[in-house]
Chain A
Amino acid sequence: MRIAWFLAAALAVLSTAVAAKPLKVVGPWEIAGIDPAQSGYVFSRLQVAETLVTADTSGRLVPALAAAWSVSDDGLVWRFTLRPDAVFHDGTPVTAEAATASLERARAGVGVLTQVPIAGIAGDGRDVVIRLDEPFAALPAYLVNFSAIILAPSSYDDAGKVSRIVGSGPYKVKNLTPPLKLELEASRSWWGGEPGIAEVSYLAVGQGETRALMAESGEADLVFSMLPVSVERLRRNSKLDVQIATIPRTRILKVNAGSPFFDDVKVRQAVSQAIDRAGIAKVILRNPDLAATQLFPPALAGWHVPDLAPLGRDLEAAKRLLAEAGWKPGSDGILERDGRRFSVTLLTYANWPELPPIATALQAQLREVGIEVKVSVGNSSEIPSRHRDGTLEMGLVSRLYSIVPDPIGTLLQDYGPGGSDWGAMGWSNEELPALVGRLVGMSDPGARAPLQRRAVEILQQELPSIPVTWSELAIVASKRVTGVKVDPLEVNYGLAAIRWAE
């Protein structure tokens, strides 16, 4: 009898030990400050905190904390009805007041909500009511952004700062050691049920090579953002599953269309025709399909226009266009016009490791048509900084079009009047801002389609920024786990649905 007891106890201990084995997740993102505008994406992706609305992997908006939403006929009053069973990790219910407080804070801060013409936010029973100054059909898409996560009142200190993350997702924070480590456990009160694995441990690993080694050594179950050079090797590993998704992120050449070098659209088109996108995509990104033949990748339905004449390489046409714009080769082969050499600085940054090598490839390719490029690798803040003081000539940037799941958000920011830090510079066009302005107020996909198409055509023709390559996200999962899904929008990694393989 005693032995049976002992065995039972030992089994119980063993089984809890097995159940308590955490899902080890590794990604490149450090947790620099826990304010939602700063690291909200980590808490949203790892399902600690939730937004009112979320997006599925195809980009369709789906309910999260709000079970349903509606808009008044004049488009000015939005009503988001909270689901009745949502509870924060501290046991308090998710109320309209708590949601209102979180959203008000997001609106006063730095996130995307600052771009929405909000007149006021208020709680009304179980509804969060957002009043607008003018119709803004994309509002639900803006609420998907991580800066709009809903936190419990106990998350804030006396000064109103976020001092800890008390969310409502399937996982709650057990331990946070900024900037590198986050340990989570099942909240046991999530409206969506119990997660498949009770504990998750997230480690930020900045070095891509180390992340690959973590996957290979079996120390990590799920590793995000692999370098292209590692992907081939990892694919051959029989214990690992590599999944790849095209994400709405494009590497673009931001050019100062107000400078004497790029004010002529012919020169911008010539630069575009001098770029060997396929070569860059094949050699640096290891996937020739990533050559950006237009601004948006095929995965962005409604924004990718399949029958648009693709951007491609044509050196002779490029030289002809440059000659038409008045640029003639000088004695050393570098173009000149009115005594000015075509010599420009290309500014980029190393937050994405592939940007500097792409910049040097562009340097060599532009030299072939007589444009001298000096590559300068600096801090990412130098792009907005030099945009503001007008000294930027060219910048190679990696631009995300799903900051809100509807690219209209980024277009509104980047190609509005006067351009913006990461978008157009010194470029003036009246049609595009008007189009974007109309799109913002429209929600019917059928009615939006022709306008979206026209916007893409203008960008393709005018090239205020020159698309270079699209991007993909590579995720490596150990075959120990099942149920891993890649979210191209990187809103939510669906960890709660992951289970240990039998």
Chain B
Amino acid sequence: MRRFLLARLAQAGLVALVVGTLCFALMRVLPGDATMRIAAGRYGPDAMTGQAAEKVRLELGLDRPWPAQFLDWLENLVRFDLGHSLVTGAPVIEELKVQLGASLWLAAAALLISLAIGPVAGVLAGLRPNGWADRLGLATSVSLRAVPPFVLGLVLILVFAIWLGWLPPAGFGTTRDLVLPALTLALGLAAVSSRVTRDAVATVAKAPYFAFARHKGLPEAVVVRRHGLRNAAIPVVSYLGLQAIYLVEGVVVVESLFAYPGIGHALVHAIVERDIPMVQGTALAMGLIFVAVTACVDAASAWLDPRLRSAR
């Protein structure tokens, strides 16, 4: 266990260094004048002028040689200081607290809802492959997956906010605000996780040990609980890990549709506005989340499947 944790910590350190360096390099390779971009991000197109950009250049010392700027960043990182946003002037860590925090809430809610839908539908479908539950599940899953998230989001807004008037169409801060964006994401996730679960359950259901459990006379519920779920859960857990990462990183469209201040929204703005410390900080946080999630998935898999532990 200790070795496992130490290895993961080393991995986290490496990820931090690589991600930070890559961001730094990529942001410099991008075409366009960074100072102009930052000034546009700060002052908006109406007040943004070349003069304003000149002041930004002087204030931020962006004309210093890049190795000096990179070393500064590295030195600050060692002190766990992510610096200040070039656009808003606020500490990056404060911005991350709000935006990453909001994203984690959204991701957790979406994952929970998708767990309540996807794997349950998948188990029902997988136990009777090609039965009506399986066919219905496939049809629903394909249609949900085929609809782009912003369309799905708009449909949900129309139904729940406009027609029924139960939930607000946009906003954040309360549980009510969280439901629609989370549901939009969850339906897309459940569409896939239900099929992954279905295949895993179908494979287990065909396995000799599963047939044996039935033949020896165990009631169906006990067979599923004791021999089915745990075995089928292994691929599903790995898949859910990937989904969790997708949730934190890739939900910009849903965030902007629902005016939700997530990390995706922040990263896109930071890249457009050449806010290098924000890009580095955001990417760093995402990288570390990736490491943490994969560590959790590995630990969960090892707990579910003793063979993984003995192999180590």
Contact = CB atoms under 8 A, between A and B. Distances in A.
Contacts of B51: 110, 114
A16 B221 CA distance: 54
B185 to A, nearest CB: 16
A217 B261 contact: no
A204 B259 contact: yes
Contacts of A349: 45
B49 A214 contact: no
A381 B48 contact: yes
B172 interface: yes
A206 B161 CA distance: 18
B170 interface: yes
A219 B36 contact: no
B162 interface: yes
B47 interface: yes
Interface in B37-56: 37, 39-53, 55
Interface stretch (A29-37, A258-266, A335-343): A29-37
A217 to B, nearest CB: 4
Contacts of B40: 379-381
Interface in A166-187: 177-181
A161 B90 CA distance: 11
A382 to B, nearest CB: 7
Contacts of B259: 180, 203-207, 210
Interface string A29-58: 000111101100000000000000000000
B4 to A, nearest CB: 38
A485 B55 CA distance: 37
Contacts of B88: 32-34, 38, 178-179
Interface in A193-229: 203-207, 209-210, 213-214, 216-219
B42 A207 contact: no
B173 to A, nearest CB: 7
A384 B36 contact: yes
Query: Taking chain B's interface residues, is the majority helix, strand, or loop, or is none over half, making it mixed?
Result: helix
A383 B165 CA distance: 44
B170 A210 contact: yes
B168 A161 contact: no
Interface string A246-272: 000000000000000000000000000
A226 to B, nearest CB: 14
Contacts of A33: 42, 85, 87-90
Nearest to A31: B88
Contacts of B52: 110
A287 interface: no
A422 B49 contact: yes
A154 interface: no
Contact of A381 (B39, B55, B162): B39
B48 A384 contact: yes
Given A178-B90, A178-B98, A219 B45 contact: no
A289 interface: no
A215 to B, nearest CB: 9
Given A32-B87, A379-B272, A217 B98 contact: no
A31 to B, nearest CB: 9
Interface string B144-177: 0000000000100110011001001111110000
* From B43, B157, B172, residue with most partner A Cβ within 10 Å: B43
B262 to A, nearest CB: 10
A351 interface: yes
Nearest to B86: A33
A398 B48 CA distance: 13
Contact of A38 (B43, B53, B256, B258): B43
B161 A217 contact: yes
* From B39, B47, B269, residue with most partner A Cβ within 10 Å: B47
B258 A216 contact: no
B32 interface: yes
A34 B39 CA distance: 14
A426 B24 CA distance: 37
Interface string B14-49: 000000000000000000110011011111111111
A385 B170 CA distance: 36
Contacts of B258: 210
Contacts of B49: 384, 413, 420-422
A213 B170 contact: yes
8 contacts: A33-B87, A37-B47, A110-B39, A178-B90, A207-B256, A210-B257, A218-B165, A384-B36
Give the 10 A-B residue pairs with the shortest CB-CB distance, closest first. A381-B40, A33-B88, A381-B36, A380-B45, A205-B259, A213-B169, A217-B161, A219-B168, A110-B52, A385-B36
Given A177-B261, A219-B168, A378-B32, 18 more contacts: A32-B41, A32-B88, A34-B88, A35-B89, A38-B43, A110-B47, A110-B52, A147-B47, A178-B88, A180-B172, A207-B257, A207-B259, A210-B258, A213-B170, A349-B45, A384-B49, A397-B45, A421-B49
